[in-house]
Structure 1
């Protein structure tokens, strides 16, 4: 009897437990799971069915999984819909070491709707109540990931994008399944196609088995290729990847990189891509930019208020025309390698433009899109009529403020250098301040660019302070000054180099100076007030003549109003001939004899002693060209 009572007392609870287990449905826990997931994601999460298969490796499956949208996107499809999501959880590993080990995850027909409105609101940003842990040991270890007929629709107004993505794992004969994803649609208002082929996703963190990756992407005319391996794809670490990028214009890279780049000539670069110190690094770069080679390294640090680009770049040979977009002009030349029909037409329009100075507005919002730190050097400079030998630039752009410190051109044994700052203003204009310094510039190198011989040294200093929305407007409102001094050289070659063969020869003829006259000293001193470059001193001393001049050049309208007068050293001052006038525009100057008002202005200038410069210029002359006995004698005579 006692045994029966004990059996009955134990049997009833066991029977009750058995009945409960037999009748238990995991679906009863769905409200709890939905509530926990919704609270964690800040979105409504719903599940149609829930299944759990208990064991050391426990399998959890959810059918009809949906993740809803945030307020403002109620009429759109759910952010995510998964027909069936299954994961295996290693319970034994958690009991033994508290490690979360997920040997496999399978998503069947997952579909995502990624949306962004013009006002910046989107349905893909989640507030998870704190950032993810930076400790790799606390995160889950994911093994196999299998996708079955996955897809996504991405439509983000600010990126001008609307494309669809398909993704799945693909079985390979005698190999492990590989990830394959394809995209097609529009991005940055350009057609986009992409195909990604990854390795087997049996273990995304297995450093003994680097994960292979291959990507081919075309966004409009820009082509991107990636080939290599990644040791830890989830942390973007241990990359050994070659990146190849090509296209007609680097400005088209802005939507892909987040960095605003001026218009350029056609380009192709290749290099090693990896990720470290929270930055994407592009190193061992080799490539071409139009007719120039391009080498060095780049790094982009995303996040923060703005992404940061740091670059150290050099060219063995560069054609400055390829960099024209950085100063607001049309880059390249007719016939630049890889040039598109549209770029050729832009160059033709640029040549036909009566304006010489760039009129394209400087885009401050684009400059504020990223902070940039650039060091660029070119060992040699090539190009038609190019007098420069080398180039060094250090540039920093922070919050749209640009510092060039310095920009330096090598010319023979001398240099032309400047330090400039450009500061954005509230009205969309830019304030530019800078100083220019010419030291022992080799005139023979200048003349070689024009196919002529010569000798001598050029020096000078200048400063500028102006405000404008373009280079043309900025100079048209600027204040400053410029002083130039030349000792030695050949006058005809210098004029041809500065103005072209036809105008240079015509000017020599109008001045009545022999074609091969040697320069003893040239001093030009200008003041700049509200865009009016006014001559304070202009004197040229040759072995047979003295030429003086004056007048104004309007930088805003690019109008010339100058006069020049020649005096032979064998003739007295009282027999000075009538001056000539130089009018027209910067791009199309003209020469005209003048017998009226211009002649009176020239005579008055002589009477005021402008044939010789003031002694105040002597320190500038000495600093600019070194030994210059000819100019020193002239300035002392003026005293």
Structure 2
């Protein structure tokens, strides 16, 4: 009771202090207007002038209404067509009836037989021909500057899209305007109906053609067909079949704050992409999210479908989250397999002008044969996806350096960065344990830094630069080998390593070439390999000097004793792809071996001559050099028979016995030196 009394008292107080004074002031203002305002007075007591003016306004309004009701809108077809033709520099014509209905809360326009021609360079095909277009607009939205269409119905549209090799696009109405990469932003359409649509695409840069059917409807029953939006077509890309299918829900009661779901499947160029997601804000095609799965035979093939340059790889399958935010595309948290290796990471692609791609990638376990395909090698992964085998390199049997052509035009078309790390590597002949790669591509110049391989013992690190701007790319490499074990080069025989020790090396080369093989064949620079100290099976050390008596006896007795390698130095100058020995020395405690010769990086052959001098008196020694020749992948080791004075029958036996040393010369490449001053030789090696 007391509470109701308090509320009543409060209300009386408000009326007394607030409402009543305000009402009084309003009354005073009204009285003043009645007495003094001339406009108010003319309305209450119109004179002859006011009556004439009001009559004229009413007549004009009535005339405009009658005119609009009786107006034949077809009279505007010609002016509209001429205006649009001049604006868009192509023929535009409204060839059928034009019907406009203004007096409604949803005014509408109906256009029949619309022709929208192609630009001057593509007049052989109209960009669009449409049998009928009906568009309705919500009037109250127009009053606040918004466009909302309760209905857009398109009957039998025929659309032809042509893109030339130099980048011209027939559908681009403002070709001189820079491409910002943003998606089309269409007005909100509550209901979209497309009947019997056809789409033709001719993209000449990728040799892509597509013929697709387009429909959008809300089926009243199963007999009417499928509800929703469907674009489905077939064609070809770079000579291989292409299929595309995009499906979405029905366009009925669409709202801007209600995502529109879709599913898209694209297959071609040896790849298959499936996206399942939603347009975040309907009709804003620059905003969507989806899950994306992709698989194929080579990631490089995706360039034809996406325009993004990717490396050569074995067969792959990946899945992750694909998002578009206007001109920025991201493929985040993806994972899967490439060949027999796992792969995960994030990729960010920025369009609008020059394409920029940034990728952060990693593998928990890398199959090194998967990595060789990036350099142009060919590999095959088994059906279980557990093992990759290198088939050949560059398509040439018996060659070390791949000859796959670098796709320089793709490097010139985009910028980007890449970071890759393999935490572990599947067991391999080179005993690589970890890999780290980094790259930066800018204005056609690719800088690889770092290039790092960690072995069980030792590392190979360096940098490489490829300038793709010249007609033939120009490259530079600088790689350093540190602490690599000779045991990994020459495997153990019967449990005993022929040689042991740690190798140091450096390769500095530069030159022109559109493949690794062609680059090496034209390169200049230097190659060096140093073994500061090590051990060698004594029998092989003796045979370096053709000490037949000591070497043969040790081999026949199965002697596993070791000789000390005081140093080994191989230093080559490289010019026009020919590496000539500057220093070639292997100094052991029993033999000093020095050599001359060259290695042809073009045809991958060697021609070396090794002269050995025994440090101890031996009973039997052949005064003839050892010859190492033939392909790098299978060098031949023998002796110069022309200098043998006697015991010719022993030559064949020595050739067979010395054969195990072939691996040492193939990989260590011993060099020329007149003096076994190891400190000086190592210091001078580059």
| In 2, Cα distance between equivalents of 1:384 and 1:411 | 10
2:126 is the alignment partner of 1:126 = no
Q: Does 1:282 align with 2:331?
A: yes
Cα distance between partner residues in 2 of 1:292 and 1:272: 21
The equivalent residue for 2:355 is 307
The answer to whether the 8 A contact 1:385-1:450 is kept is: no
Shift of 1:509: 12
Once the two structures are TM-superposed, the CA of residue 577 in structure 1 deviates from its matched residue by: 4.7
Task: Give secondary structure in 2 for the equivalent of 1:98.
Answer: coil
The within-5 A match list for 1:372-387 is 372-382=416-426, 384-387=428-431
Task: Give yes or no for the alignment of 1:80 onto 2:144.
Answer: no
Deviation of residue 84 (structure 1)?
A: 1.4
Secondary structure of 2:119's match?
Answer: coil
- For the pair 1:482 / 2:527, whether they are aligned, the reply is yes
The runs of 5 or more residues in structure 1 that have no matched partner are: 496-503, 600-605, 625-639
Partner Cα distance (1:417, 1:589) in 2: 27
Distance verdict in 2 for CA 1:548–1:147, change over 3 Å = same
The reply on whether 1:162 has 2:206 as its aligned counterpart is no
Secondary structure of 1:472 counterpart: helix
- Structure 2: gaps spanning 5 or more residues: 1-47, 646-669
Q: What secondary structure, in the 3-state scheme, does the structure 1 residue paired with 2:432 have? A: coil
Match of 1:459 in 2: 504
Bigger CA radius of gyration: 2
Structure 2 Cα separation of the partners of residues 355 and 133 of structure 1: 47
Taking the TM superposition and a 5 Å limit, the aligned residue runs for 1:247-286 are 247-276=296-325, 278-286=327-335
Q: What is the alpha-carbon root mean square deviation over aligned residues? A: 4.2
What does 1:105-184 correspond to in 2, within 5 Å?
105-117=152-164, 121-127=168-174, 140-171=187-218, 177-184=227-234
The equivalent residue for 1:437 is 480
Alignment of 1:230-245 (within 5 A): 230-232=279-281, 234-236=283-285, 239-245=288-294
Change (3 A) 1:290 1:489: farther
Determine the C-alpha separation between the residues in 2 that align with 1:524 and 1:245: 48
Residues 164-243 of structure 1 mapped to structure 2, 5 A cutoff: 164-171=211-218, 177-202=227-252, 206-207=256-257, 209-232=258-281, 234-236=283-285, 239-243=288-292
Distance 2:380 2:589 in 1: 40
C-alpha displacement of 1:317? 1.6
CA distance in 2, matches of 1:389, 1:217: 38
Shift of 1:425: 5.8
Query: 1:634 aligns to what?
Result: none
> How far, CA to CA, are the matches of 1:509 and 1:196 in structure 2?
81
Q: Take 1:510 and 1:106, find their aligned partners in 2: how far apart are those partners?
A: 98
State the alpha-carbon separation in 1 of the partners of residues 182 and 526 from structure 2: 60
8 Å CA contact retained: 2:375, 2:402 = yes
Aligned residues: 588
Relative to structure 1, the CA distance from residue 166 to residue 221 in structure 2 (aligned partners, 3 Å threshold; closer, same or farther) is same
TM-score between both structures, scaled by the size of structure 2 = 0.75
In structure 2, the CA distance between the partners of 1:586 and 1:29, relative to structure 1 (3 Å rule), is same
Specify the alignment match of 1:327 in structure 2: 375
Q: CA deviation at 1:389?
A: 1.1
Question: Structure 1-normalised TM-score?
Answer: 0.80
1:636 corresponding residue in structure 2: none
Q: In structure 2, what is the Cα distance between the partners aligned to 1:239 and 1:23?
A: 46
**114 and 567 in structure 1: CA distance in 2 versus 1, 3 angstrom threshold:** same
CA distance in 2 between partners of 1:116 and 1:237 (Å): 21
Tell me, in whole angstroms, the C-alpha distance in 1 between the residues paired with 2:121 and 2:357. 35
| Residue-by-residue CA offset, 1:578-606 (whole Å, 9 max, x unaligned) | 3210111223311121144799xxxxxx9
Q: Distance in 2 between matches of 1:406 and 1:384?
A: 22
Q: Deviations over 1:40-64 (max 9, x none)?
A: 4333222211122221221111111
Specify which of 405, 408, 416 is matched with residue 449 of structure 2. 405
How far has the Cα of 1:112 moved from its partner?
0.5
Alpha-carbon distance in 1 for matches of 2:550, 2:286: 71
